[in-house]
Amino acid sequence: MSVSIRKAALLIACLPIVLGALPGSLSATEIAIEAQVGFRGLFQLGQPFPLTINLTNAGRPVEGTLEVKVWKGGPTKGTDPYPFYYQRAVLLSAQSQRGFQFVVDPDSVSRPLTVTFTGPAGEVSKEIDLRRHFSAAPLSLLLTENSIAPSIPLEGSRPAPLISLSVSEMPSEARAYHGVSAILFYEQSLRDLSRAQSAALEGWLSSGGAIVVLGSVHYALYQEPTMSRFLPVRVSGLKRFASLPSLESALKGKASPLRNLLLQDSKPVEGRVLVEEGGTPILVESSRGRGRLLYLALDIGRPPLSRWDGLPLLFALVGPLHQPERAPLTTTWDESVIAQLFWNPSFLATYVPIRAFFLWLLFYVGGVSLLAWLWRRQTWPRRTTALALLCLIAFSGFAGYFQFVRGG
């Protein structure tokens, strides 16, 4: 009898703990995690890529931490693998869904990427196998509101996967485009492009990217202020041509002739005109820092150009868009760096990442040199000079610690 009473007392004592644990586990399951790797599930191996995470809360409002774990190091880096974390504090309202975007840069895809949401009631995790999402070749992105993507025979030693995106899916950090060779615009309005997205595009373009603007009969889309920032011409309307002898001459007669075409009429504002017909530019190339801007007045998404056999020859005139090895921007102060500073002044912080260290080093060496000169000249008493040297060392040590411990 006493044993039964003890068991019942133990059960009653443990009941609050069990009941308290149940709501936590149930609340944790009310958070669902969905993740999209790269651009529509694809990224270039060895380059940073965007990671979009959608959190769905089916319960009460909850506040927690969203954490992404990737693996750095490994045999290719000469070190043991170690985890690297990206964290962000999030607040989810009741019965809601929110999206968050990270730019991650794992050194290895052999280990899974882990997304974890930690809240007061517990945590929810999801592992993603990156081996199913990477591409050895750089990507090409196509932004279009047309339901049918045009055929774009881009030149290159390796075929670049062409991925169609919407404006809302464009990243807001330039680092996310490092695995992208070219971005193509076709019948796309950029009015919904945010300031951060526009700055990321301009930064990526200045550092060696390529933007190709494909013309269309819907010329009003190319007169928007945001689109004009990526155009080397000023579009004024449409113009009909019975034939294009200049284009046939540029292709050396290797393609079938075109008849009765409707082209965008424009005036060049920068760059050089590669092909023109009757004063109307057909193919224009311009540079933006290390990057390239290309404009094609032809509407290759509609017949007869969509079935024209001269498209590969036309794109061959501009050469490969992708630069396999981009020169680091921290080598020389050339026109590309000046252009990058013009478009994004905060780029200076990344161009000279250790300038604060050199300033502190210059201050310290200058102070020691001054005290050594005073010691030799005996301008100050030896004791005062020694105390000044100790104060300089202490001040430099404490000031340097407080500067660099905060990531300066």
Check: CB of residue 230 under 8 Å from CB of residue 189: no
The per-residue pLDDT for 332 is: 46
Q: What does the mean pLDDT of the chain come to?
A: 82
Identify whether 332 is part of a domain: no
pLDDT tens digits, 109-145: 999 999 999 999 889 999 999 999 999 989 999 999 8
Pair 61, 35 in one domain: yes
Identify whether 269 is part of a domain: yes
Check which CATH number belongs to the domain holding 75 and give it: 2.60.40.10
> Which residues share a beta bridge with 116?
67, 125
Pair 369, 390 in one domain: yes
Q: What is the mean pLDDT of residues 280-286?
A: 94
Domain with 264, as residue range(s), is: 137-317
How would you classify the pairing of strands 62-74 and 122-128?
Answer: unpaired
Q: Give the angle 218-250-144 at the CA atoms, nearest 5°.
A: 25
Percent of the chain with pLDDT over 90: 52
Q: What is the per-residue burial (b if ≥16 Cβ within 10 Å, else e) of 54-72?
A: ebebeeeebebebbbbbbe
pTM: 0.71
Pair 197, 107 in one domain: no
H/E stretch holding 80 reads strand 79-92
Rounded CA separation 31/26 (Å): 10
Dihedral sign, Cα of residue 36, residue 42, residue 48, residue 50: negative
Structure-model confidence comparison of residues 346 and 318, the more confident one: 318
Count: domains in the chain = 3
Identify whether 53 is part of a domain: yes
The residue type found at 24 is G
Token code pair at residue 349: 């912080």
Identify whether 64 is part of a domain: yes
pLDDT tens digits, 329-386: 444 444 545 555 555 554 444 444 445 666 777 888 888 888 888 888 888 888 888 8
Check which CATH number belongs to the domain holding 265 and give it: 3.40.50.880
Identify whether 401 is part of a domain: yes
Pair 158, 190 in one domain: yes
Pair 175, 93 in one domain: no
Pair 385, 308 in one domain: no
Dihedral in degrees, nearest 10, Cα atoms 233, 239, 240, 242: -50
Which residue in this structure is represented by tokens 């790797």? Answer: 37
pLDDT tens digits, 221-267: 999 999 999 999 999 999 999 999 999 898 988 889 899 999 999 99
pLDDT tens digits, 133-178: 999 989 999 999 876 667 777 655 456 788 999 999 999 999 999 9
Pair 200, 104 in one domain: no
Sequence-ordered list of residues with C-beta below 8 angstroms from that of 401, at least 6 positions apart, any chain: none
Identify whether 180 is part of a domain: yes
Identify whether 326 is part of a domain: no
Check: CB of residue 285 under 8 Å from CB of residue 270: no
Check: CB of residue 78 under 8 Å from CB of residue 169: no
Alpha carbon separation from 391 to 19, 382, 402 (Å, rounded): 62, 14, 16
pLDDT tens digits, 9-61: 555 555 544 444 444 443 446 899 999 999 999 999 999 999 999 999 998 99
Tally Cβ neighbours within 10 Å of residue 120.
10
Rounded CA separation 123/301 (Å): 48
**Which of 131, 166, 190 is at the close of a domain?**
131
Three-state DSSP state, 130: helix
